Amino acid sequence: MTTNKIRYLRIIREKLKIKEYHASKDITRVIIGEMHNQERQATWPLLKKFKPKPLQGSVIIVPTVDLAGNVHISVVNPKYMETQAYKVYCSILEYYKPTIVVELHAFNSKAYSNLTDPNRLEKRGVPPLIPYKQEPLIEDQVLHGGSPPFAKNKFKEHGSYVTLEIHRNYTEKAEKTLLNVLNIIVKSNSPQQIINRLTEKYPESMKKAKELLHKYLGISI
């Protein structure tokens, strides 16, 4: 990383309100709470409540990469890579060199059918998101998937990149599920351990997600 890039990130780290939790130096997990605008009302309170206690490695919490709060483009849209938010995102990954990345998003009811569309891979270039639990109310659900298109070649290992979506008007049940997933990620010391522990808790959901991820990455199961 160049000196100018390091200086750039050091300048914006305070603006980003990044929080770091360190136990050792062997694994780094970066949790990003807002990739674009209109999500912070849901994601920031969750991250404020989340108090990670890693047994190994580090946890870096980045409440937002959208400093100006004016990016409205989905991360699956190629135009996202033209935004300032994407520049900040890349700087964070280059600076911290994470083993594991978590993107935390918030969806509204109107977007739910698009996020979970079985044909989303053909339509949008990314697999559908899967609920950890098939709850009757979408406000109770937490959806999960893998990396956006711009990160899929860097994070091919299942469990190395986790996208999470919670409803903007999430219930206490959904909050509990999401915080449980985040704690599993923080207490796990490798992508494979994350997968193993999440599969124990949500076997059917994780099996489906694995199948979709492998199809997305072009990997034979």
Q: Are 188 and 194 spatial neighbours (Cβ–Cβ below 8 Å)?
A: yes
The full 3-state SS of 102-166, as one line of letters, equals EEEEEECHHHHHHHCCCCHHHHHCCCCCEECCCCCCHHHCEEEECCCHHHCCCCCCCCCEEEEEE
Is residue 57's pLDDT more than 70?
yes
pLDDT one-digit tens code per residue, 138-163: 999 999 999 999 999 899 888 999 99
pLDDT at 219 over 60: yes
Q: How many CB atoms are closer than 10 A to CB 172?
A: 8
Rg (CA), the chain: 16
Instruction: Note the pLDDT tens digit of each residue in 166-177.
Output: 999 999 999 999
More confident: 38 or 12: 38
- Burial class of 51 by CB neighbour count within 10 A (0 to 12, 13 to 18, 19+): exposed
Total domains in the fold of the chain: 1
Tokens of 183: 């704690």
CA 210 to chain centre: 16
Enter the tokens of residue 166.
Answer: 């919670």
Q: Confidence class of residue 18 from pLDDT cuts 50, 70 and 90?
A: very high
Q: Which domain holds residue 70?
A: 3-217
* Whole-Å CA distances, 152 to 6, 37, 115, 175: 24, 23, 18, 27
Q: What is the pLDDT of residues 88-134, one digit of tens each?
A: 999 899 889 999 999 999 999 999 999 999 999 999 999 999 999 99
Token digits for 157? 């290992």
Any alpha helices (H) in the chain, and if so which ranges?
3-16, 40-49, 84-96, 112-115, 120-124, 172-187, 191-201, 203-217
